[in-house]
Amino acid sequence: MVVRVGDIEVGREAGRLVLIAGPCVAESLELCREVATVVKEVCEEAGFGFVFKASFDKANRTSGAAYRGAGMDAGLEILAAIRSEFCVPVLTDIHESWQAKPVAEVVDVLQIPAFLCRQTDLLIAAAETGKAVNVKKGQFLAPWDMANVVKKVVEAGNTNLILTERGASFGYNTLVVDMTSLPRMRALGYPVCFDATHSTQKPGGAGTATGGSREMIPYLARAAAAVGIDALFMEVHPEPEKGLSDVATMFRLGELAPLLRQIRDIDAIIRATACGLTREHGP
């Protein structure tokens, strides 16, 4: 199955990996331009497709006092500018059904946050826009439970669907990644993506903010590539510690190029030895 995201194809048959990357939140046009410039160059050098990602609103922050974003109007202006200036598809998340239609007028991919992946009205609203939909598997779901999510989107008339793994709850303030979820979700018939940055989170682990283990990102990303993925999701920032959201888990922009080269080489081995994921590997 190949999913179209703007001019980019996502899927094993597309022949290359796609990187979905950008800052956690669209802090400013200047920051997004800086990130897009570097990531586009790195992707072109490593042979990745590139989809720019940034959120206009972080509605699920740990603390009500935390920075949420520029808001929908200002955030969409930033995303529209990046899409136009860099000629790349853009992705952002929505949290309420009414947001789907106006957001779809600007972006190429509507993302459903993990906490909301079972919200029927939200899924249907996103699907009915006709845009590609990236659904993050809830931290509380088994991979095979995503079959019900797929059914909701497909029955709403949209098969342009990507499924993303981002870790599963493992006790308090901890996530763990079950790599077998990738082939199990692929068995549902749609491209799979691995979120290498959110998978290292420690939800609520910093008291009034989410903590995390940024140093684990390369290990998980390489492991997912060895299992077989169609896309890699990463939040990146030139100075993660100064970011306004997810400071513990955004990846340092200057370290992206060598990691992508490693991911590319691992993926090439998997493809060459015909050990990539197939639908027959499902549950």
Contact 165, 182 (CB under 8 A): yes
As a whole number, mean pLDDT of residues 200-218 equals 79
Share of the chain above pLDDT 90, in %: 80
Tell me the H-state helices in 47-71: none
pLDDT tens figures, 232-241: 999 999 999 9
For the chain, the 3-state helix, strand and coil shares in percent, each to the nearest 5, are: 40, 20, 40
What is residue 208's predicted lDDT score, i.e. its pLDDT?
55
* Phi, psi values for residue 137, rounded to 5°: -65, 130
- Domain encompassing residue 117: 3-277
Q: Say if 19 falls within a structural domain.
A: yes
Q: Say if 270 falls within a structural domain.
A: yes
The yes-or-no verdict on residue 279 having pLDDT over 60 is no
Distance of alpha carbon 18 from alpha carbon 108, whole angstroms: 14
Share of the chain above pLDDT 70, in %: 90
pLDDT band at 219 (very low <50, low <70, confident <90, very high): very high
Q: Say if 50 falls within a structural domain.
A: yes
Domain count, the chain: 1
pLDDT band at 66 (very low <50, low <70, confident <90, very high): low
Q: Say if 34 falls within a structural domain.
A: yes
Q: Say if 283 falls within a structural domain.
A: no
Lookup: tokens for 245: 């959201």
Q: Say if 21 falls within a structural domain.
A: yes
Contact 22, 236 (CB under 8 A): yes
Paired residues of 91 in beta bridges = 53, 109
What global pTM score does this model have? 0.92
Nearest to 191, CA basis, from 114, 122, 129, 135: 135
**H/E/C letters for each residue in 171-237?**
CCCCEECCCCHHHHHHCCCCCEEEECCHHHEECCCCCCCCEECHHHHHHHHHHHHHHCCCEEEEEEE
Distance of alpha carbon 55 from alpha carbon 70, whole angstroms: 9
Query: What's the CATH code of the domain at 101?
Result: 3.20.20.70
What is residue 69's predicted lDDT score, i.e. its pLDDT?
66
Nearest to 198, CA basis, from 223, 224, 175, 171: 175
What is residue 212's predicted lDDT score, i.e. its pLDDT?
80
Residue 193 CA to its chain's centroid (Å): 7
Q: Is 144 exposed, middle or buried (0-12, 13-18, 19+ CB in 10 A)?
A: middle
Q: How far apart are the first and last CA of the chain?
A: 18
Contact 230, 193 (CB under 8 A): yes
Q: Say if 282 falls within a structural domain.
A: no
Q: Say if 272 falls within a structural domain.
A: yes
Lookup: tokens for 168: 């599963």
